[in-house]
Amino acid sequence: MAKSDVEADSGSDGVDSVVVSSIKNVEYGQRPRVVVKVRADRDYTFRGLSNRDITLSGDKASVAKVSVSGRTLTVSISLPKIGTTEDTALEVGDVYWGDDDDGSVGWDQADDANRYEVKLMRGSSTRETIQTSGTRYNFRNAIRGGGRGTYSVKVRAIAGSYKGKWVESDDWEIDEDTLKDLGGKIAGSSSESRTSGGPGNGSYSATQGAWMKDGNGWWYSNADRSYTVNNWQKINNNWYYFNKDGYMVTGWLQSPFSKKWYYLDPSSGRMMTSQWVDNGKYYVDANGIWISDSSSGSGGSGSGKQNGSEQGAWLKDKSGWWYCNADRSYTKNNWQKIEGAWYFFDRYGYRKTGWLQSPFSKKWYYLDPSSGRMLTSRWVDNGRYYVDADGVWKP
């Protein structure tokens, strides 16, 4: 119901105009409140009027409030509840499984429903809950993930904030044959293929399939209805590891093949690469391998060249190259000597290249465009400029 659905007019003497000002409470089960403003002609007034002076015709409408301001009379009218008061208005007559044994379920339409809440039950446990405006839904994926068991479906109709009673379907017993027809997880049907190219020494790559979840966790059903156990698998260009029961592993993992450590995203399970992980405490390289000497650090910020540890490691992320020292710090806004060569790192700790004016001496230096090391005693920048033994440009 909207203002445009209500017409207001008056043929009475002394009335200049009648306008529907607002309509509130228009959901199912609510009592709509319509506010009408009546404006008097210049020679007339509504002063002194009250609720008792207003008469309404129609079924169960009542005057809730009357107020007068100048020549304008404002009347608030309360209308009957929207929808029927009968219990059957939100009653779902029947809930039934589809004839094709494909996981679909249907139900009878309730008279006043604008949506339905639907629960898939496995025994006394809820496997999945959805809301839909239709009268059919397919729970195939949820049943495939749940495995063998006794399934039923509960449905109730909803209109606004009002909810009908639950109506339940018959039980459907899912055995191994039915589960196999649905493409679900069957005990003993596992994949232990080994191909090259994945993390460690063992991997399995599948191009089609579906993620499934049951009470034990997430697993992946391949297109051939097999599933990977004790192995890596590449899915949509991301690497995942599945344990001896075929469930996705998360967090830290030591590969049984390479014995190297990897970090698998706690929420998605995908192998992380080229970033700090585990709340920023450790770094994994482009192959997902933990760099044992890496850890987040505050970084240096001295006032001149400083010697760095010879036991650190060069690391690269999407922003560029940086150097992780053995003490797990990294240099910022400063020079650092690494394996006999000088490098300069910006305020974020990333290695600089090309021309650099030192923030300390204000002299110009040239850092090799590919390696970042400071060049000395040579012509640089395509032979146009010369830097001396200290790397300083000589104009």
pTM of the model: 0.36
Architecture in CATH for domain 313-394: Ribbon (2.10)
The token pair that represents 14 in the structure block: 């002394």
Q: Is the pLDDT of residue 194 over 80?
A: no
Q: Mean per-residue pLDDT for 304-321? A: 63
Domain 94-182 classification at class level: mainly beta
Per residue in 224-280, pLDDT (tens digit) is 667 788 888 888 889 999 988 888 999 999 888 888 889 999 999 999 998 888 887
Residue 209 pLDDT? 75
Per residue in 39-87, pLDDT (tens digit) is 888 888 888 777 778 887 766 788 888 888 888 888 888 887 766 545 5
Q: Are 232 and 199 in contact (CB under 8 A)?
A: yes
Cα 243–Cα 249–Cα 250 angle in degrees, nearest 5? 165
The CA distance from 302 to 309, in Å, is: 15
Per-domain residue ranges for the chain? 6-78, 94-182, 210-291, 313-394
End-to-end CA distance of the chain: 82
210-291 matches 313-394 in fold: yes
Per residue in 344-391, pLDDT (tens digit) is 999 888 999 999 999 999 999 999 999 999 999 999 999 899 999 999
Selection from 261, 28, 347, 270 nearest residue 164 by Cα: 28
Check if CATH label 2.10.270.10 holds for domain 210-291.
Answer: yes
Residue 265 pLDDT? 94
Residue 4 pLDDT? 63
Considering only 51-65, 87-101, 172-186, which range has the smallest mean pLDDT? 172-186
60-65: Cβ within 8 A, 24+ apart:
64/33
